[in-house]
Amino acid sequence: MRKIFWWFVVLLAVFFARPIWEEPVGKYVDLGFLDSVDRTVESIAGNPEVTQVIDEARDFTARVGAQLQSFIVSQSVEVPEAVAKPELVETESLFAVHNVTIGMAKEDAQEKVGLPLRLMRNEYGTDWHSYHQDFQNYVLLSYDKDGIVNGMFTNQDVFSSREGITIDSTKSEVRSILGTPLKSLQKGNVQYILDTRDEYDVFKTDDTYTTIFYDIHEEDTVTAVQVVHEKLEEMRPQIYAKPDEKLKEGYEYLLFELTNSARIQRGLPLLKWDSETKITARKHSEDMAENQYFSHTNLAGQSPFDRMKEDGISFYVAGENLAYGQYSSVFAHEGLMNSLGHRENIVKPDFGFLGVGTAFNEENQPYYTANFFNR
């Protein structure tokens, strides 16, 4: 009899907890059958013999709800406190990032941006030095062997231009200022056609290559700027870099950083790096590269959620982004942001953790797997 009593309490607790679970579940399940449950509960609610049971169920629900809310809050990362943007000064260069320009000495650059938080190998054979404050004022700089800036990148409103190009400029405005973008890049005896898909433009100006990325869902406005010295570009003998472990890790961490850089601009909690999920993600990238396919479902029929569970990763919400064939993590991230389904994962507030895994096929083309989740 006691067992029946407690089963009844649990059932009523589930009923009274409907505000917690009904809305998200209703997106996937027809909950019309609950109408009859409503009528049944209403009919018995006036029975004095069950009033005590209902009161206990309500108390039980309140305690569970409070514990659940406390758990969710404890697992979420708070949005960092906002920091001020740098005061941008006029520049004589085509572009300055955080008031840093190509050709500036490392010591002078770091007086403006501070010390790097991470070094990540890039496709040019140098390292991107990552500078930011909780991913705000996000800047990447590369230096040559003499400590001179030879590469810059940002996807935030911390750049200036002598030509007046800003984060609010459109593709047509950029082209009217900088002219016709390149359609190909010459590497040795090979001419590589640039597969821009109208999502970015590459311009050769003076002694630099400048890549301007656009948001095709926001009226083709500028989202990011990358500037590399022509000597740095020449250090990349082919369009795809020759992979090694450092490049693989560099691509993984950079995609993670760019994801957080996109989230912080939208006032979203930052994601935590998860090394265990990175292994799961890298295994899928390796599988796709080795077996020449590109899909969320692997050749064994496993979904991303199956693979995560198989590796012992617990989660209550999860998602996966895939990318393939981009020249670097910068191009991969910008491409994912221009795909609404992938962008939804990048900016989903419910996620709290991210693991990124990269692999390369025989043509040195990178495969990216990004597994998002929350516990």
The per-residue pLDDT for range 124-150, each reduced to its tens digit, is 999 999 999 999 999 999 999 999 999
pTM given for the model? 0.81
How far does Cα 289 stand from its chain's mean position? 21
- Residue 65 predicted with pLDDT over 50: no
C-alpha triplet 268, 271, 276: angle, nearest 5°: 160
- Residue 174 predicted with pLDDT over 70: yes
- Residue 20 predicted with pLDDT over 70: no
Structural domains in the chain? 1-75 (no CATH), 95-239 (3.40.33.10), 249-374 (3.40.33.10)
What is the percent of the chain where pLDDT is above 70? 79
Taking the CA atoms of 301, 305, 306 and 311 in sequence, report the sign of the dihedral they define: positive
In total, the chain counts a number of residues equal to 375
- Residue 334's Cβ-count burial label (10 Å; 0-12, 13-18, 19+) is buried
Residue 206: its pLDDT value, please?
A: 86
pLDDT tier at 196 (50, 70, 90 boundaries)?
very high
Between 302 and 5, residue with greater pLDDT: 302
- Residue 8 predicted with pLDDT over 70: no
Residue 10: its pLDDT value, please?
A: 47
- Residue 157 predicted with pLDDT over 80: yes
Buried b (16+ CB within 10 A) or exposed e, 145-168: eeebbbbbbbbbebbbbeeebebe
- Residue 62 predicted with pLDDT over 90: no
pLDDT tier at 77 (50, 70, 90 boundaries)?
low
pLDDT tier at 66 (50, 70, 90 boundaries)?
very low
Residue 358 φ/ψ region, left for φ over 0, alpha for ψ in the -120 to 50 degree band, beta for the rest: beta
Residue 323 tokens read as: 């990318």
- Residue 54 predicted with pLDDT over 70: no
DSSP 199-258: SEEEEEETTEEEEEEEETTTTTEEEEEEEEEHHHHHT--SSSPPP-HHHHHHHHHHHHHH
- Residue 114 predicted with pLDDT over 90: yes
- Checking DSSP bridges between strand 184-187 and strand 159-160, what pairing results, if any? unpaired
Residue 300: its pLDDT value, please?
A: 97
- Residue 230's Cβ-count burial label (10 Å; 0-12, 13-18, 19+) is middle
In the chain, the amino acid numbered 301 is G
The per-residue pLDDT for range 342-373, each reduced to its tens digit, is 999 999 999 999 999 999 999 999 999 999 99
The mean pLDDT of the chain is 87
Average pLDDT over residues 296-303: 98
- Give the whole-angstrom CA distance, residue 177 versus residue 161: 11
pLDDT tier at 245 (50, 70, 90 boundaries)?
very high
- Give the whole-angstrom CA distance, residue 178 versus residue 35: 63
> 203 near 95, Cβ under 8 Å?
no
Of the candidates 172, 189, 210, 224, which has an alpha carbon nearest to the alpha carbon of residue 337?
Answer: 224
Residue 64: its pLDDT value, please?
A: 45
Which stretches within the chain are classed as H helix?
2-16, 18-26, 34-45, 48-75, 106-113, 171-178, 230-234, 245-265, 275-291, 304-310, 329-337, 340-346
- Residue 26 predicted with pLDDT over 50: no
- Residue 13 predicted with pLDDT over 70: no
- Give the whole-angstrom CA distance, residue 366 versus residue 294: 12
Residue 30: its pLDDT value, please?
A: 46
- Min mean pLDDT across 33-37, 120-124, 145-149 is at 33-37
Residue 181 tokens read as: 């973008």
pLDDT tier at 276 (50, 70, 90 boundaries)?
very high
Query: What is the 8-class DSSP label of residue 181?
Result: P
- Residue 36 predicted with pLDDT over 60: no
Phi first, then psi: give them for residue 186, nearest 5 degrees: -90, 125
pLDDT tier at 24 (50, 70, 90 boundaries)?
very low
